[in-house]
Structure 1
Amino acid sequence: MARVAVVGAGAMGSVYAGLMADAGHEVHAITLWADHVAAMRANGLRVEGASGDRTVRLQAATTTDGIGPCDLVIIACKAADVVDAARSAKALVGESTVVQTIQNGLGSADRVAEVLGAERLSVGVVGGFGASLTAPGHVHHNGMEMVRFGAYGGLSGDAVERGASVWRSAGFAVQVFDDIERMVWEKLIMNVAFSASTCLTGMTIGEVLAHPEAWHVARRCTEEAVAVAQARGISLQVGDPVEHVRELGGKIPNARPSMLLDHLAGRRSEIDVINGAIPRQAATVGLAAPVNDTVTALVKAREVGFAA
């Protein structure tokens, strides 16, 4: 069994931690949310939803102090926090540690690599979970569709597989990719569809799909992202990208993406690295992305006065 640290045990990170602990791994869940830590220490972590319903025991803490080197370190925080998370993870990294960084959008892996080194880093993409924290010590997820990993820099294929094997042992279906740009953009076209559209309307993914005007906006966000990917020479191997997004979204109709959950909690979202990344990338290949640019501006306008 592996020694695993999940740095950023929010909704998604808690699902990872709980299922890995249930599989028998030694898991350390690290989150700044003290109430969540207290609940996990007192009563264990309850994980319910698509994977079933279980309560597991694991190690929970607000810092990485005293944990020591792990076999696998998963950085699962929001994009805005990856540098601080990577710095805190230094104490968890030994000579053979595999580091996996899993964030929405573009750019986080570059920032983690600067702190922890490209040679030990695996980039992860997950989707179709629809995870939310129901209460301290209690996480729910609507699905578990997509778990993908690829080497960021000099990490060997064996090391990527070693990290992926921990996930497989915990019931996750994992694919390993050689082309991490393709891997990241295949997830990004889903993120841009439903992140801003649900955030601005308050709808679930299923409600966006069923509402003609909301789906029109979501679809155009995806179409702009696909055009940028194609212009950059990124081969998206998902068939018709819009139908791919519609199909994946249809599998988790009750899900509320993290951007909507952030706004409901009065927190700033990851809009800059998701929808906001598309106009920036478009400009590098002579394109425009007016719908993504507009929804980004609207989301940021709503965030005035929100906590960081």
Structure 2
Amino acid sequence: MVIAIIGAGAMGGLYGAYLSRENKVVMIDSYEQQVNSINEKGITLIETDGTEKVYKNIKAYKSGECKKTVDLIIVFVKSTHTEEALEANKSLFGKDTIVMTLQNGAGNDRKIQKYVEDSKVIIGTSKHNAVNLGEGKIKHAATGITTIGSNYNAHDVVEKIASCLKKCGIEVEVSNDIQRIIWSKLFVNLSINTFTALIETPIGYMIQNESAWNFAKRLVYEAVEVAEADGTYFDRREALEMVKDVCIKAGNGYSSMYQDRKKKIKMEIDAINGAIVEQAKLYGVPTPYNSLIVDLIHAVEGAYDLYE
């Protein structure tokens, strides 16, 4: 397959490297230095056991500069840049192009549906954790399952992409209830991402400190109530166990939102906790803790220019 990955950061680079084992992969990114590094040196993947491998058979383009249609597009840009990235790279879309989002947050599939028919949209989540070290180097901090599915009758399309991923060494699970998976990932992100961005710690610290874990509980409990109002039911203990499991497996890793804060770039809070707050308004569910967190993260962003 010819695969374009929009967003050549940590997770995009990780999947791009793996998928290049069996496919022709092009990386799309707005950051010129990252594009040049990949074209000159390839993608260097540092695995969880410390081994390194360089993947050189990958071509990178600045956003909007690749004019060839592809078989599969995987979207890995920050949720806040989804529409901008899709619009800039419309030339990648052909009549049979499949688009898969493995982004954080909710609502990305609705943005993609403006560009391809519903049956060509795949939604997914990834339990991998990766850190962008710059110059095309990616640290694979934690491994995990990639779960994909569709909100529409697209079983054959989903199975086709699942097979593609598996051939490249990516563990895949196909879900017939992908909304449940999306909510599950939201529980993880709205607690872990926001906490580590605010406190600036590795992921695992959240279960090592009682106050930190209480923070997670409040946010997750609110989100469970919103999910139930939306028609997807969770046991609170089940939701918390999912968060705890990620904290254990990715203990020394750093969340994407933490990495964004370190780089002083806009964080994905509006597509994560903000998505919970907006969904809650539809059902009249109070979300004071998630609302507070959205304001706190935006306050942090507003203070970027105060510190050098």
TM > 0.5: yes
Match for residue 301 of structure 1? 299
1:45 corresponds in structure 2 to 43
Q: 1:248 to 1:19 in 2, by over 3 A?
A: same
Partner of 1:123, secondary structure, is strand
* Residue deviations 1:195-226 (CA, integer Å, cap 9, x gap): 11111101111112211111210222112111
Can you list the C-alpha shifts for 1:126-171, whole angstroms capped at 9, x where unaligned? 12x22111121101121121311112445x2111111222211111
Residues 80 and 271 in structure 2, CA contact (< 8 A), matched pair in contact too: no
- Secondary structure, counterpart of 1:240 in structure 2: helix
Residues 109 and 152 of structure 1 are in contact (CA less than 8 Å); yes or no, is this contact kept in structure 2? no
Using the TM superposition, name which of 247-256 and 175-184 deviates more. Answer: 175-184
The alignment-based identity, stated in percent, is: 28
Q: 1:265 aligns with which of 263, 281, 290?
A: 263
Matched-pair contact (CA < 8 Å) for 1:86–1:116: no
Letter of the 1:87 partner, please give it. Answer: E
1:19 corresponds to which residue?
18
| Aligned-residue offset at 1:98 | 1.3
Match of 1:131 in 2: 130
**Is 2:279 the partner of 1:281?**
yes
SS of aligned partner of 1:70: coil
In the alignment, structure 1 residue 28 sits paired with structure 2 residue 26: yes
Q: Alpha carbon RMSD of aligned pairs, Å?
A: 2.0
Alignment of 1:157-176 (within 5 A): 157-176=155-174
In the TM superposition, residue 306 of structure 1 has moved relative to its aligned partner by 4.8
**Structure 2: where are the runs of 5+ without partners?**
none
Residues 1:143 and 2:142 are matched in the alignment:
yes
- Against the structure 1 CA distance between its residues 7 and 49, is the aligned structure 2 distance closer, same or farther, given a 3 Å change threshold? same
Taking a change above 3 Å as real, the CA distance of residues 237 and 69 of structure 1, as seen in their structure-2 partners, is farther
CA distance in 1, matches of 2:11, 2:223: 24
Maintained 8 Å contact 2:6/2:27: yes
Is 1:238–1:244's contact at 8 Å kept on the other side of the alignment?
A: no
Structure 1 residue ranges (4+ consecutive) displaced by more than 4 angstroms after TM superposition: 236-239
Once residues 142 and 40 of structure 1 are traced to their aligned partners in structure 2, the CA distance between those partners, rounded to angstroms, is: 20
Task: Tell me how far 1:237 sits from its aligned partner.
Answer: 8.4
Q: How far, CA to CA, are the matches of 1:152 and 1:35 in structure 2? A: 37
**Letter of the structure 2 residue corresponding to residue 42 of structure 1:** E
Q: Contact conserved, 2:221 with 2:236, CA < 8 A, in 1? A: no
- Kindly state the Cα deviation for residue 305 of structure 1 after the two structures are TM-superposed: 5.6
Q: Bigger CA drift: 3-12 or 47-56? A: 47-56
- Quote the residue 2:4 is aligned against: 5
Is there any run of 5+ residues in structure 1 with no aligned partner, and where?
A: none
Whether the aligned pair in 2 keeps the contact of 1:132 and 1:140 (CA below 8 Å) is: yes
Q: In 2, Cα distance between the equivalents of 1:88 and 1:174?
A: 30
* Inter-partner Cα distance in structure 1 for 2:284 and 2:42: 52
Asked if the contact 2:97/2:116 (under 8 Å) is kept, the reply is no
Measure how far apart 1:53 and its partner are. Answer: 2.4
Distance 1:184 1:130 in 2: 17
Q: CA deviation at 1:174?
A: 1.0
